Amino acid sequence: MVDLTLSLAPGTYGAENREGPGVTVSQRHGLHILHLAGDLSDTDFPTAARHALGLPLPQLAGETRDGHGVRVLWLAPNRWLVVSGHKLETDAFGEKASVNDVGQGRSVLRLSGRSVRDLLCKGCPIDLDPQSFSAGHAAATLLGHLNVVIDCIADDVFDLYVTRSFDHFIHDWLVRAGKEFGVRISAA
Amino acid sequence: MNHQPFRKPTGGNIDRSQPLTFTFDGKVYQGYSGDTLASALMANGVKLLARSFKYHRPRGLTGYGVEESNVLVQLRTGARSEPNIPATQVELYEGLVAESQNRWPSLHFDIGAVNSKLSGLFPSGFYYKTFMWPAKFWPFYEHAIRHIAGMGKSPTLEDPDSYAHNYRHCDVLIAGGGPAGLMAALSAGQSGARVILCDENADFGGMLRGRRDTIRGKPGPEWVADTAARLAAMKNVRLLRRTTAAGYYDHNLIVLDERVADHKATPENHEPRHRIWHVRAKEVVLATGSIERPLVFADNDRPGVMLTSAAQAYANAHGALAGRRAVIFTNNASAYAAAADLKAAGIEVQAIVDLRDSLEAPELKIAANANIGVLNRHVVVAAHGAKSVHSVTVMPVDSNTTPVGEAQEILCDVVCLSGGWTPSVHLFSQSRGKLCYDETLSAFVPDKSFQRERSAGACQGAFQLDACLHEGAKAGAQAAVAAGFATTAADVPRCSADAVVKPRLLWAIPAPDHLHGGKQFVDLQNDVTAADVGLAYQEGYHSVEHLKRYTTLGMGTDQGRTSNVNGLAIMAGHRAEAITAVGTTTFRQPFTPIPMGAVAGLNAHDHVAPVRTTPLHHWHESLGSPFAPTGQWLRAQGYPKDGETLEQATMREAKHVREKVGIVDVSTLGKIDVQGPDALEFLNRVYINSFSNLAVGKCRYGVMLREDGLVDDDGVVTRLAENRYMITTTTTHASAVMNRLEYLLDVDWPSLNVHLLSVTDDWSGIAIAGPHSRTVLTKVTSADLSNSAVPFMGYAEIDIDGVPVRLFRISFSGELAYEINMAPNATRTVWDALLKAGANQEIIPYGLEAMNVLRIEKGHVVGGELNGRTTADGLGFGKMISTKKAFVGKVPARRAGLTRDDIHQLVGLVPTDEKTRIPRGAQLIADPKATKPVAMQGEVTSQCMSPNLGHPIALALLNGGRARHGETLKAHSPITGQTVTVTVTNPIFIDPQGERLRG
């Protein structure tokens, strides 16, 4: 019997603190997201990618780069996530690139607040201490049962990329895990 | 209830202005803030606190902390009730309720105590000897034994509390916040390293909490408070109180259990009750201290017999007195300061009975100053009393440590034991460090480290306070340096001196003849005596691991913290070998018990596994469809109309699709995007059939094998472009297939230039099936859908109501059918457009159950048939197997056992009476009345009522089944006991020529 709460009303859940909820969760809409794969050692690919994006692909593990309204997240060797507010052409990256539009297949949640790192630590095994994971870092990792991408936007602001079909589940998880800090779910 | 007869008027780390009321066995008592349940009971003079596990002997407190073996209580009531909690580890709170365990009807009158009189019937291993026959009665015996033999009761109500886990990384983790751990934290903290310091108790200090040492001329607890404050001021140091380092795992992963709210009546403001910390530390300092050892003599389990350090700590830290008159029995010098403390606290110390020959000046001075008589070269041979000790018999020993000469009886209500100290090497040993035996200390101490850790202080045998402070300071600095920080050891404060522990050994005090019969307990929690260890030796259980299993020595909640060394030393005596040759049992995680709720954390109830939903979930819900979990997905099962059951709806939907048209949500099918110049080569290697001649814009069914040659999964491969394909997988195998394909690319074929991406969530899916499906589709698109434009197994990219979609002419139902993939946000638009456009054709939505009926009627295989034990040929895919190319599983698939004619082959089954449903999972046999064992020829893998044929049908795997169409067999379900006579048929029940789907 599955009795999961499949829809969460916007509102504040859990602990009541004088400072207000420790974490706020809101959904980011209207993002265009491409999954980009290509061989960095083949010079055609990074050149075409730089041309298409207007910035070079990040090459360090967990590195992110910004510019021209585009944010590029290093996901794995030869794999990136390209996030933008405007539509990006999938064929702009040259013949050597493998591109998929994954914008509607991902739920992007903006998490913020003073307890946001403590909340993420409850399900994510990587080092999320500010000295190891700060703005400019992203990681394809785990949160609870789920594969997620965590992107550090600012000290206490993170974007969480979750496979769309887990959208209900991750909201439910965030509320459960966040209750001890107080968690606010913003209207969609 | 304010009277606490065994409480000093002043002194101790308790707050007498904050009285707390609590209940033990229904009686109301009062203690103070700062008490444990144990210290509060002691202050109230309650000595009989438990009954023992096997013999139901009266028991009292023996320890002060995690070593307590006797006093386990059932704590709290109702849903929060928890069994087997040591009273020494329960912080007192207002309203606490505890009950003693293992007695009926009461502690003072316990019927089970008759076991004690019958103890001759219960030697070690008596379960194995007594309850062997008849074997089938064991479950009954086990139930009865479990009830009689000890321990508390599990709560039956749901746990109302929440539990949390969290993952942290640090440079230096310090386990234990006594003098060594605090100094280590100062050294490491001042380097700037990220430090975590944890301690299992309510506050730091370790042994300093219970002793009267001075540091910088001030009492130990003051220095502890100052130091903790200094550490708290360091931003890079995290202090965790009430937090046990429970397990040490590979790569310096240490698991901590924080008791966040156990010291309160209930957790507050949504806090978790426990929090598990998974700490990945660059370096570890173990400062876990040591535990005093008891001495073994006749009736050494009487209430009032306890560890010297425990009595000392109760007096010093809680102002609680273990009794009025004490006898101290020791084999080393550490007990003298304790004796003086007890005397100062107001306990009359009758004598220090010391096993050693000659005593050193410092301890003689302590005894003289405190005016305590010392009987050196003496032993306690027996304790007397029942529900409380009232005296001991003391005798001199000769040079062979044999009791000789005149016995004397000394009256007392407390007997304090000090048999030396056992370093707590549990975490070190869990980390796979090697121990060695230190003869001087008579203790196992750390020898060679295996991971990046070091021990400091009493846990490696440095028992003196000064040594603990120095070693801690050094170890903290070393750890910080090893973690990459520049630092030196913190300044070590001056402290008072304490005794050097050099025990004289006598592992079990021989009892003189006139005291014969008194049990000499080694393990109090499990009622294991010295005689039991001897019996184990006699019966051939010489290894310590065998000793443990046979006698239960060292099992239970205390894990033999006070008994292991004594037990294995007694065994070494029987074996006439050195203790080091006998060795220790394996130290396992956790150090102390962790509640199951804390282990589960958030992964409980409906979060045991994640749940996935499709973009149409709410639509299905609004039509009242029930959902079936399929892998992680929830799939809509069907749409019962008013008064309809799901079964009736399924029949209606399945019939309607064959006759007219229906749509179904197939978003859950696994989808993998395959791109790159070597994509074709990759697909040829993973599927049994070839894709070399698959044109762009065409689909082909594919089957893949595992490395062992058995079928892994099936799906449809579509060539989207020259070097781009999309493949589908079954819903439940999707992630396993993706993992395997990525593994093949990364590990086996790194030279292939191919990129894979799971796009299951990026493309939702709707299947439209039925003779009118093309008619309906034509209404929502301007694209040419004729047989020549989009033939069976064709592909096209078209618009539906302005939404760009991928259209696949494939059929799971066997009808004229299409699958439509679209961006998830557009799913509802397309779904609604199809329902609207198909109104004249009476289009309906259908669910998982109808889809299943349709595919069984067509003999299509899914999870029941792709069960990991079937061959491609057995499932009817023999003709697809390419002989021209290599593919995964090709060679193993040719093995004789997988190519014989009589292996499982897919068949259809029809009940001969055309009425009776064939139970799923039934075994196919020739004659149920044949002599057992009856040969099983096959099994039923899928079954349904076919609305289109009007009778039940089933799919089955049958030995050599393809050649047996027409045979009659019995399908017997071992679960329901039902037997149905069936006829073997072609597995394709409807349209075997496939004319409908090409229509």
With a cut of 80, say whether residue B125 has pLDDT above it. no
Q: Which of A164, A166, A170, A183 is the best residue to mutate to test the B interface, defined by the most B CB atoms within 10 Å of its own CB?
A: A164
Chain B residues inside the 8 Å CB shell of A102: 757, 759, 761-762
Domain assignment of residue A25, yes or no: yes
Nearest alpha-carbon partner for B469 in B206, B243, B234: B206
Domain assignment of residue A1, yes or no: no
Alpha carbon of A36: minimum distance to chain B alpha carbons (Å): 10
Rg from Cα positions in chain A? 17
d(CA B40, CA B38): 5
Give one DSSP letter per residue of B830-862, joined into a string. HHHHHHHHTGGGT-EE--HHHHHHHHHHTT---
Interchain contact, A173 vs B602, CB within 8 Å: yes
Could you report the per-residue pLDDT of B747-786, keeping only the tens digit for each? 999 999 999 999 999 999 999 999 999 999 999 999 999 9
Q: Please give the backbone phi and psi of residue B983, each rounded to the nearest 5 degrees, phi first.
A: -110, 135
Domain assignment of residue A151, yes or no: yes
8 Å CB contact between B663 and B845? yes
If asked whether residues A175 and A109 sit together in one domain, one would say: yes
Interchain contact, A132 vs B278, CB within 8 Å: no
- Cis, peptide link before residue B105, omega less than 30° from 0: yes
Residue range B900-999 forms a domain whose CATH class is mainly beta
Could you report the per-residue pLDDT of B527-578, keeping only the tens digit for each? 999 999 999 999 999 999 999 999 999 998 889 999 999 999 999 999 999 9
Could you report the per-residue pLDDT of B250-282, keeping only the tens digit for each? 999 999 999 999 999 999 999 999 999 999 999
Q: Which of B167, B761, B823 sits opposite A163 (nearest CB)?
A: B761
With a cut of 70, say whether residue B134 has pLDDT above it. no
Chain B residues inside the 8 Å CB shell of A145: 603, 607, 609-610
Interchain contact, B164 vs A122, CB within 8 Å: yes
Q: Which of A98, A108, A116, A161 is the best residue to mutate to test the B interface, defined by the most B CB atoms within 10 Å of its own CB?
A: A98
d(CA B377, CA B395): 9
If asked whether residues A91 and A163 sit together in one domain, one would say: no
Averaged pLDDT, B841-865: 96
Return the CATH number of B670-758, one of 1.10.10.10, 3.40.50.300, 3.30.70.1400, 3.50.50.60.
3.30.70.1400
Return the CATH number of B617-668+761-858, one of 3.40.50.10490, 3.30.1360.120, 3.30.1050.10, 3.40.50.300.
3.30.1360.120
Interchain contact, B602 vs A123, CB within 8 Å: yes
Q: What is the ipTM of this complex?
A: 0.95
Per-residue pLDDT band at B121 (split at 50, 70, 90): low
Chain B residues inside the 8 Å CB shell of A164: 615, 761, 824
Nearest alpha-carbon partner for B495 in B905, B873, B114, B215: B215
Chain B residues inside the 8 Å CB shell of A4: 606, 611
Half-sphere exposure of B725 (CA within 13 A, CB side): 29
If asked whether residues A110 and A129 sit together in one domain, one would say: yes
Could you report the per-residue pLDDT of B416-451, keeping only the tens digit for each? 999 999 999 999 999 999 999 999 999 999 999 999
pLDDT: which is higher, B96 or A89: B96
With a cut of 60, say whether residue B698 has pLDDT above it. yes
Domain assignment of residue A5, yes or no: no
Q: Which of A52, A83, A101 is the last residue of a domain?
A: A101
With a cut of 90, say whether residue B624 has pLDDT above it. yes
Interchain contact, B167 vs A125, CB within 8 Å: yes
Interchain contact, A176 vs B615, CB within 8 Å: no
- Cis, peptide link before residue B134, omega less than 30° from 0: yes
Interchain contact, A172 vs B673, CB within 8 Å: no
Nearest alpha-carbon partner for B286 in B176, B179, B407, B133: B176
Which pLDDT value is given to residue B569? 94
Which pLDDT value is given to residue A4? 39
If asked whether residues A39 and A130 sit together in one domain, one would say: no
In total, the C-beta contacts within 8 angstroms joining chain A to chain B are 122
If asked whether residues A25 and A110 sit together in one domain, one would say: yes
If asked whether residues A58 and A73 sit together in one domain, one would say: yes
Q: Which of A78, A104, A167 is the best residue to mutate to test the B interface, defined by the most B CB atoms within 10 Å of its own CB?
A: A104
Interchain contact, B166 vs A169, CB within 8 Å: no
If asked whether residues A146 and A167 sit together in one domain, one would say: yes
Query: In the numeric block, which tokens belong to residue B874?
Result: 């057995």
Nearest alpha-carbon partner for A98 in A34, A51, A152: A34
Interchain contact, A126 vs B167, CB within 8 Å: yes
Q: Which of A165, A168, A181 is the best residue to mutate to test the B interface, defined by the most B CB atoms within 10 Å of its own CB?
A: A165
Residue B384, SS3? strand
Q: Which of A105, A121, A166 sits opposite B610 (nearest CB)?
A: A166
If asked whether residues A82 and A120 sit together in one domain, one would say: no
Per-residue pLDDT band at B932 (split at 50, 70, 90): confident
Q: Which of A85, A101, A117 is the last residue of a domain?
A: A101
With a cut of 90, say whether residue B355 has pLDDT above it. yes
If asked whether residues A139 and A161 sit together in one domain, one would say: yes
- Closest chain B residue to the Cα of A107, Cα to Cα: B761
* B502 interface with A at CB cutoff 8 Å: no
Residues 738-797 of B with CB under 8 A from A: 753, 755, 757, 759-763
- Closest chain B residue to the Cα of A182, Cα to Cα: B270
d(CA B926, CA B917): 18
Averaged pLDDT, B600-620: 95
Which pLDDT value is given to residue B513? 74
If asked whether residues A157 and A64 sit together in one domain, one would say: no
With a cut of 90, say whether residue B123 has pLDDT above it. no
Domain assignment of residue A6, yes or no: no
* B729 interface with A at CB cutoff 8 Å: no
| Helical segments of B407-498, H only | 426-430, 465-482
Domain interval for residue A126: 11-29+104-185
pTM: 0.93
Alpha carbon of A47: minimum distance to chain B alpha carbons (Å): 18
Averaged pLDDT, B492-502: 91
d(CA B783, CA B907): 40
- CATH assignment at residue A165: 3.30.1360.120
Alpha carbon of A5: minimum distance to chain B alpha carbons (Å): 9
Averaged pLDDT, B106-114: 81
Residue A26, SS3? strand
Domain assignment of residue A138, yes or no: yes
* B611 interface with A at CB cutoff 8 Å: yes
Interchain contact, A2 vs B629, CB within 8 Å: yes
Nearest alpha-carbon partner for A54 in A38, A72, A36: A72
* pLDDT tens digit at each of 188 positions of chain A: 233 344 568 899 999 999 999 999 999 998 999 999 999 998 899 999 999 999 999 999 999 999 999 999 999 999 999 999 999 888 889 989 999 999 999 999 999 999 999 999 999 999 999 999 999 999 999 999 999 999 999 999 999 999 999 999 999 999 999 999 999 999 86
Domain assignment of residue A3, yes or no: no
If asked whether residues A82 and A111 sit together in one domain, one would say: no
Alpha carbon of B165: minimum distance to chain A alpha carbons (Å): 5
Q: Which of A7, A122, A172 sits opposite B166 (nearest CB)?
A: A122
d(CA A111, CA A116): 7
Q: Which of A55, A76, A101 is the last residue of a domain?
A: A101
- CATH assignment at residue A42: 3.30.70.1520
Query: In the numeric block, which tokens belong to residue A29?
Result: 């809409």
With a cut of 70, say whether residue B138 has pLDDT above it. no
Q: Would you list the domain boundaries of chain B?
A: 15-121, 163-290+423-482, 294-419, 617-668+761-858, 670-758, 900-999
Q: Which of B158, B162, B165, B166 is the best residue to mutate to test the A interface, defined by the most A CB atoms within 10 Å of its own CB?
A: B166
Which pLDDT value is given to residue B119? 72
Mean pLDDT of chain B: 94
Q: Which of A3, A129, A166 sits opposite B612 (nearest CB)?
A: A166
In CATH, the number for domain B294-419 is: 3.50.50.60
* B720 interface with A at CB cutoff 8 Å: no
Interchain contact, A104 vs B603, CB within 8 Å: no
Q: Which of B611, B627, B760 sits opposite A169 (nearest CB)?
A: B611
Q: How many structural domains compose chain A?
A: 2
Which pLDDT value is given to residue B621? 95
Which pLDDT value is given to residue B596? 94
Strand order, beta sheet including A183-185: A11-13, A183-185, A23-28, A106-112, A157-163, A146-154, A138-143
Q: What's the one-letter identity of residue A139? A: A
Alpha carbon of A77: minimum distance to chain B alpha carbons (Å): 11
Q: What's the one-letter identity of residue B339? A: A
- Percent of chain B at pLDDT exceeding 90: 88
Interchain contact, A6 vs B613, CB within 8 Å: yes
If asked whether residues A160 and A175 sit together in one domain, one would say: yes
Domain assignment of residue A81, yes or no: yes
Q: Please give the backbone phi and psi of residue B947, each rounded to the nearest 5 degrees, phi first.
A: -70, -25
Half-sphere exposure of B260 (CA within 13 A, CB side): 19
Q: Which of B173, B282, B606, B621 is the best residue to mutate to test the A interface, defined by the most A CB atoms within 10 Å of its own CB?
A: B606
CB atoms within 10 A of CB B979: 16
Residues 144-163 of B with CB under 8 A from A: 162
Averaged pLDDT, B232-243: 98
Residues 560-599 of B with CB under 8 A from A: none
Query: In the numeric block, which tokens belong to residue A20?
Result: 């207000």
Which pLDDT value is given to residue A7? 54
Residue A93, SS3? helix
Interchain contact, B757 vs A37, CB within 8 Å: yes
- Closest chain B residue to the Cα of A14, Cα to Cα: B270
CATH fold of the domain at B163-290+423-482: FAD/NAD(P)-binding domain (3.50.50)
Half-sphere exposure of A22 (CA within 13 A, CB side): 19
CATH fold of the domain at B15-121: Ubiquitin-like (UB roll) (3.10.20)
- Closest chain A residue to the Cα of B826, Cα to Cα: A104
Chain B residues inside the 8 Å CB shell of A179: 162, 270
Chain A residues inside the 8 Å CB shell of B162: 176, 179-180
Averaged pLDDT, B99-110: 85
Which pLDDT value is given to residue B126? 65
Averaged pLDDT, B398-421: 94
Per-residue pLDDT band at B114 (split at 50, 70, 90): confident
Per-residue pLDDT band at B89 (split at 50, 70, 90): very high
With a cut of 70, say whether residue B130 has pLDDT above it. no
CB atoms within 10 A of CB B975: 9
Chain A residues inside the 8 Å CB shell of B613: 6, 165, 167-168
Residues 614-633 of B with CB under 8 A from A: 614-615, 617-618, 621, 627, 629, 633
Domain B163-290+423-482 and domain B294-419, same fold? Reply is yes
